């Protein structure tokens, strides 16, 4: 026995929730499932992470995001805000329900979840672009003192910490761990940091601490292998060993495009970006739509964020209701993310 609905929304991050609201306000029946809690990806951010974007740019569903002084929201404030949106808009999310299989037939779409089956006329995949960390494939990557995720800085107090990476996650982790009393070393494969990929208030501090020798930095360099006590780095002039009690490989994330592949959606390039109709967000599979950062597949150079994906929800809502596409929003001359 299948549950039947007009639209199945997979994913309950900010844009997934905004898509649910666009359906609800038009009277379009939907079921929304999320394999974790609402805002699942954001729950994995390090404690007290501050968003790039101003509060007004990441508000959804017409519910204002208010922070003290309208400063940029923290992870914890934004998760509380998402809970507020769900309650205020009366959205229903089937949390901790994962889609295991998805196919299309003459009767629409059939999704198999770990709780049962859902039959839908249309599907929206709002599955994000951070499903799993990116492995770099070096010896020792699986050792217990090596991690691909930074959770909080306290555990590194007094420890020798090597951080691999040079974009925002690595820079922020380096500074927060240094402030917590860690002995921090950075390894980055490029010759310099790219200001487009680091919060503008972090980079001057990092450069100052590197200049003063408070944080060690090897650029360009890349890790070759990890042992229980050292990491071997390759620099242009040769290899060197860096002592390390802990290693953070903050080298990015990959999107999970498996549901797209199950349905035979056309995916383009190394990033596996779904081919979409920009006016409706419909993929190459009729009735299959994509919203949010999943629209970019795996982002190697970031172009999609919460702040410039709101239009996806409005386009999908209009398409499902048979309405004309909404006008494009004014371009963000300087995206804050």
The pLDDT value recorded for residue 196 is 84
pLDDT above 90 as % of the chain: 91
User: Region 27-41: what's the mean pLDDT?
Assistant: 97
User: Region 28-42: what's the mean pLDDT?
Assistant: 97
Specify the 3-state DSSP secondary structure of 18. Answer: helix
The pLDDT value recorded for residue 69 is 83
User: Region 13-28: what's the mean pLDDT?
Assistant: 98
Report the DSSP beta bridge partners of residue 231: 226, 242
Residue 331 tokens read as: 């371009």
Over the stretch 144-173, which tens digit does the pLDDT of each residue have? 999 999 999 999 999 999 999 999 999 999
Over the stretch 196-244, which tens digit does the pLDDT of each residue have? 889 888 999 999 999 999 999 999 999 999 999 999 999 999 999 999 9
User: How much is the mean pLDDT over the chain?
Assistant: 95
Confidence check: pLDDT of 1 > 70: no
User: Region 261-271: what's the mean pLDDT?
Assistant: 97
Cis peptide before 65 (omega within 30 of 0): no
d(CA 101, CA 94): 17
The pLDDT value recorded for residue 52 is 87
d(CA 232, CA 240): 6
Q: How confident is the model at residue 337 (pLDDT cuts 50, 70, 90)?
A: low
User: Region 1-20: what's the mean pLDDT?
Assistant: 95
d(CA 249, CA 165): 7
d(CA 167, CA 165): 6
Confidence check: pLDDT of 45 > 80: yes
The pTM of the full predicted model, rounded to 2 decimals, is 0.92
């Amino acid at each position: 026995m299948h549950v039947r609905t007009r639209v199945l929304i997979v994913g309950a991050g900010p844009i997934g929730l905004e898509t649910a609201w666009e359906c609800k306000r038009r009277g379009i029946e939907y079921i929304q499932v999320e394999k974790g809690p609402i805002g699942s990806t954001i729950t994995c951010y390090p404690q007290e992470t501050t968003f790039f974007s101003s509060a007004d740019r990441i508000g959804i569903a017409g519910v204002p995001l208010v922070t003290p002084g309208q400063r940029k929201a923290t992870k914890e404030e934004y998760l509380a805000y998402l809970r507020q949106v769900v309650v205020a808009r009366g959205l229903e999310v089937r949390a901790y329900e994962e889609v295991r299989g998805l196919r299309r037939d003459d009767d629409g779409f059939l999704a198999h979840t770990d709780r049962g089956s859902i039959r839908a006329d249309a599907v929206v995949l709002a599955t994000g672009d951070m499903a799993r960390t990116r492995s770099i494939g070096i010896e020792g990557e699986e050792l217990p003192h090596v991690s691909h995720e930074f959770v909080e800085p306290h555990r590194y107090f007094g420890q020798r910490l090597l951080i691999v990476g040079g974009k925002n996650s690595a820079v922020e982790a380096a500074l927060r761990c240094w402030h917590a009393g860690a002995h921090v070393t950075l390894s980055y494969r490029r010759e310099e940091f790219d200001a487009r990929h680091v919060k503008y208030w972090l980079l001057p501090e990092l450069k100052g601490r590197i200049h003063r020798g408070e944080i060690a930095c090897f650029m360009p360099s890349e890790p070759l292998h990890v042992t229980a006590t050292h990491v071997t780095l390759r620099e242009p002039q040769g290899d060197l060993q860096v002592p390390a009690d802990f290693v953070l490989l903050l080298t990015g994330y990959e999107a999970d495009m498996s549901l797209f592949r199950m349905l035979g959606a056309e995916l383009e390039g190394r990033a596996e970006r779904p081919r979409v109709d920009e006016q409706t967000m419909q993929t190459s599979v009729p009735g299959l739509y994509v919203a949010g950062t999943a629209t970019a597949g795996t982002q190697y150079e970031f172009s999609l964020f919460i702040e410039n994906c709101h239009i996806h929800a409005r386009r999908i809502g209009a398409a499902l209701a048979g309405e004309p596409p909404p006008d494009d929003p004014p371009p963000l001359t300087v995206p804050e993310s």
